[in-house]
Amino acid sequence: MHVLILPGDGIGPEISTAVRQALEALNTQFALGLRLSECRVGLAALEHDGTTWPDAAEEAVRAADMTILGPVDSAAYPPPTEGGVNPSATMRIRFDLYANMRPSRVLPGVPALASGMDLLVARENTEGFYADRNMHAGTGEFMATEDVALAVRKITRRGSERIARAAFAAARNRRRKVTVVHKSNVLKHTDGLFERTAYGVAAEWPDVEVDDVHVDAAAALLVREPGRFDVLLCTNMFGDILSNLAAELSGGLGLGGSINAGDNVAVAQAAHGSAPDIAGRDIANPAALLFSTAQLLAWKGEREQNRALVEASRTLERTVETLLAAPETRTADLGGPLGTRAFADRVVTGLLA
């Protein structure tokens, strides 16, 4: 089974190394038969290949069974015409990775602003307000005059149905509740279509409770009463914002794992950015990308009924959580003494114990 690692920019190579070490340990412990490889993307690829998304990277993703993407610094890229292609957005479009699944849970011993949070944001990933993924040609943003900027939002029944089904399927393995997040009182056509479609899908899952809440109320409830949520079903931009809020409330973006999944391809990707200001200083927390990798192993294991992959996923998640629970085995961002490499070493030791 081929696992591709795309290290990315900033702290990406450092935390990707930690992930590779963890996968090698899991490979040994569970006899997973993993074959690991890497490919350049981002600024390293721009320097070497003239583009941040070389053909070799796309071919490698197509050939891989699972892909792990380190954070990318697309804000520092030149225009697309000069090779500055966003690898994250490109992968979501090219491989139709319509489901961005972002869990947030308060972990034992980890300082958090919320209590009782254990939720999953199921975010639609291929349309919505984001201009780079809602038009066949050109971009969904344009200037009518030099003083007037306009944006097009695309919501489709198909896009809404498939993220809704992903949300309800996830809820069935959790606490069996889906909350549809929308603003259909104002965005009557787009959010109205999303809400109606979600409730239509809900009829297929009679064993899962469903309710809905306006996005502004959802933000307030995440602060005041996060325990009321199990799975939040969101359009693209609302899901992006609320998942970051949930991650910060539950301990910080440094713990924010996620996967981008389609019907046949999934990519592990931490919710945080590339943090170029701390790159190369051995202080980045690899936990988010490790949690993302655990999600990816579970996704693949459940689809293929591979018990070893599922158990490896659980073991990786538990090992990271155990280290985070103790102040002496945390990274500096959580008040601990460990650097990136030392934390990775502790993860490997725990996996091989």
Does 113-249 match 1-97+266-353 at the fold level? Answer: yes
- What is the predicted pLDDT for the residue at 11? 97
Residue 213 clears pLDDT 80, i.e. is over it = yes
Residue 353 clears pLDDT 90, i.e. is over it = no
Convert 165-230 into a string of H (helix), E (strand) and C (coil).
HHHHHHHHCCCCEEEEEECCCCCCCHHHHHHHHHHHHHCCCCCCEEEEEEHHHHHHHHHHCHHHCC
C-alpha dihedral (153, 52, 10, 269), degrees to nearest 10: 50
Q: Where are the domains of the chain?
A: 1-97+266-353, 113-249
- What is the predicted pLDDT for the residue at 131? 79
* H or E element that contains 247: helix 236-249
- What is the predicted pLDDT for the residue at 239? 97
**CATH architecture observed for domain 113-249:** 3-Layer(aba) Sandwich (3.40)
**CATH architecture observed for domain 1-97+266-353:** 3-Layer(aba) Sandwich (3.40)
pLDDT tens for 231-267 read 999 999 999 999 999 999 999 989 999 999 999 999 9
Q: Binning pLDDT at 50, 70 and 90, where does residue 108 land?
A: very high
Please state, for a pLDDT cut of 70, what percent of the chain lies above it.
Answer: 100
Measured over the CA atoms of residue 55, residue 56, residue 62 and residue 68, the dihedral's sign is negative
Q: Provide the whole-model pTM.
A: 0.94
Burial of 176 (0-12, 13-18, 19+ CB in 10 A): middle
